[in-house]
Amino acid sequence: MKINKYITHTIKLFVLLNVILFSTQNFAAINPDNLGAAYSINKQQITFRLYSSQATKIELYLYNQASGAAEISTYPLTKNAQNIWSTNLQTSTLDSRLAGTIYYGYRAWGANWPYVTTWTKGSSAGFISDVDAQGNRFNPNKLLSDPYAKELSHDHLTPQFSDGTIYASGPLYRNIDSGMQAPKGILLAVNSQSIGIKPTRALKDDVVYEVNVRGLTKNDNSIPAQYRGTYQGAALKAAYLADLGVTAVEFLPVQETQNDTNDVVQSTQGDNYWGYMTLNYFAPDRRYASDKSAGGPTKEFKAMVKAFHDQGIKVLIDVVYNHTGEGGTWINGDSSTYNIYSWRGLDNPTYYSLTSDKQFSWDNTGVGGNYNTKNPIAQNLIIDSLNYWITDLGVDGFRFDLASVLGNTCEHGCFNFNKMDPSNALNRIINEFTERPTWGGQGTDFIAEPWAIGGNSYQVGGFPAGWSEWNGIYRDTIRKDQNQMGSENVTLGELANLFSGSASLYQNDGRKPWNSVNFLVAHDGFTLKDLYSCNAKNNTQPWPYGASDGGETSNHSWDQGWFNQAQEQRKAARNGIALLMLSAGTPMITGGDEYLRSIQCNNNPYNLDSIANWLNFSWNSDQTNFNNYVKGMIQFRKNHPALRPADFYKSYDTNGNVMEQLRWFKPNGTVVDSAYFNDANNHAIAYRIDSSEFGESTAAIYVAYNGWSGNVNFTLPWPGQGKNWYRVTDTSNWNEGANTVKAAGSEDFIGGEYTNYGLNGRAVLVLIAK
């Protein structure tokens, strides 16, 4: 016994030491070089540190205002063996004009533009080329913002200054000095305000609401005018989202992006509403703050996070690590002329994937070139910024735009997604952070948009363990089945796979149903209303609903025909919400889905900072009824753990035998066979979930889906010993109104086993057994 006890204690000590070692290693991996600018604890010293392996000289420029004035002081930085450039300044020795807010930026020289003593701002002294054979694009005439700055003073283009040529390289622009107008980093003291208590809910139990911070409240008269479209305004909508049933709000990008010039005039020229052109990965977007003073956006963002946390709602943010706002070449075939804002001017081949000759950007994004997600230094910035948003700003999870680029295993001259590469950005993220456990707890939710452009970038179901994904196959298949019967072949087997958690995509990887983020619409494409109201996109219409370019041509949409059209469109939307809330996985709706928001068939409204994209909370009776329906279906999902399985509807008895938790039925009540499943001419199916297996008092849930245009009779299966079937909802037109989803305890009696139920065409039926 003593020996066994000794061994046990030794094992425990060994495990503890490994936990400590692992934790230390994880901690050390977060910004070990202390990059960025920071005050010492007593504010007596300021440290500036940044990375460049290619620069030969870097100077720090300090300013006392954001724009319109020359620098107050300059300081040379010194480089260490790890390519970290730094300087330490004593605040007591700074120019007295820097006693207030300190703004800063950098100028850098390198092989293509070495430093010479005769250089002055706006001169060509020392210039050799805009880009050299190694891909360097140094230009000391361009003031560079710190990639690790905690806030940026403003965007590159503003209502007061709209000349973007000052940031460009190339023969026409390389000698224009940008220092007076360029965005500067802002030196901030540490912010220790509360972000509240982070929810620990499992992702499988979440209902995600995707929305733009500005659009959530910009058109909401219940919000004080000064807060509309801001973090503070969003905070005031937390109670509304909680009442809707939302458990996680997913904001479109809130990292600083080029949007200061939006809605200067009523047009879309140059507008950036969605925010997918990131200028800094640490700074909260200043335009979304009602308090735009130095530090204001950070304080207001954290206060918003706390407001959502206080309602039990997670805050997820959309992040764009596949490309940056520096963009691509100005002119096709011209390697000389690129924007130089930050990363490109500090270390272009480190921060960007380039063509094999390193003269151009390699592009799998369609918007300017890939961020170099394979490079360890570029990866460090991703890791460090994620940690900042989690630890300092209180964020609970992330959706990664065009996340396939983060699986790239080639730096320059190619693209190759490989989830097995342990050194790619995808695996580093999962390995260096704690993914939220299946049953909930401390951790972070990681969600990928699992595609990009070209190569092997379409990877729905192809991401490594630890990652959840936007399930584009779920979206497209449900759309086809609802809207394109006769022109698209969708089998009931395909639908069954999606309804039960998309095992064909995720099970072989050891992932679970909740790793499938199910959605029918997102910000990118039609709204829910337009999906069932528009036969084609209409993006060329005038302001405020256009004009927008691009957008998918094939949307799998339909206006539901000519007969009783408006009511049929609402029914189709009810069906979509029903299927979404009844499917295993993590459901996501987009802001405005809950009241049938329309953008009049514009399916690419990325540039509409207008009433077309802003949510409207003045509803007609049909919108109010639909909102009640959405609330009811969300609540029904919450009430029934059987709809939120941790695994693919499997359980085991005490002998290890598999027990069926879900069974599929033909309309006649017989069990589905493979022939019926695989015949694309069948369009009606039902299933019964044994909810008692999930600890529910309800014995079973029965769902019938009639995809035909005409009525179908369904013979109901066994509801359980001594039980009967009760109707929760039927999406048929006869049931449209204010009370279409019955609350628990008020369901309508239907009958027992073998009862026939006539379900109208294109409708969903939900019953419970009790």
111: its two tokens: 């092989």
CA–CA separation, 410 and 422 (whole Å): 13
CA–CA separation, 21 and 337 (whole Å): 48
What is the dihedral angle through the alpha carbons of 597, 603, 608, 611, rounded to the nearest 10 degrees? -20
208: its two tokens: 């995600």
CA–CA separation, 349 and 360 (whole Å): 10
CA–CA separation, 684 and 279 (whole Å): 50
Cβ atoms 305, 395 nearer than 8 A: yes
**HSE-CB of 437 using CA atoms within 13 angstroms:** 5
Residue 660 annotated as catalytic: no
The distance of Cα 627 from the centroid of its chain, to the nearest Å, equals: 24
CA–CA separation, 765 and 749 (whole Å): 13
CA–CA separation, 572 and 632 (whole Å): 17
Q: Which amino acid is at 554?
A: S
The one catalytic residue among 177, 449, 696, 730: 449
The distance of Cα 264 from the centroid of its chain, to the nearest Å, equals: 27
Rg (C-alpha) for the chain, rounded Å, is: 28
**HSE-CB of 477 using CA atoms within 13 angstroms:** 19
Q: Across-strand partners of 444?
A: 435
The secondary structure element, H or E, covering residue 316 is: strand 314-319
The distance of Cα 385 from the centroid of its chain, to the nearest Å, equals: 15
- Residue 711 neighbours by CB under 8 Å, 6+ apart: 758, 759, 760, 761
CA–CA separation, 239 and 242 (whole Å): 5
Q: What are phi and psi of 607, to 5 degrees?
A: -110, 15
The one catalytic residue among 210, 401, 411, 568: 401
The burial of 438, by beta-carbon neighbours within 10 Å (0-12 exposed, 13-18 middle, 19 or more buried), is given as: middle
Residue 401 annotated as catalytic: yes
Closest CA to 373 of 403, 346, 345, 347: 403
Q: What are phi and psi of 474, to 5 degrees?
A: -60, -50
Range list of β-strands (E), 486-609 = 516-518, 586-590
- Residue 57 neighbours by CB under 8 Å, 6+ apart: 76, 108, 109, 114, 115
CA–CA separation, 223 and 129 (whole Å): 53
CA–CA separation, 14 and 26 (whole Å): 18
- Residue 675 neighbours by CB under 8 Å, 6+ apart: none
Q: Across-strand partners of 663?
A: 688
Cβ atoms 254, 285 nearer than 8 A: yes
Which residues are catalytically annotated? 401, 449
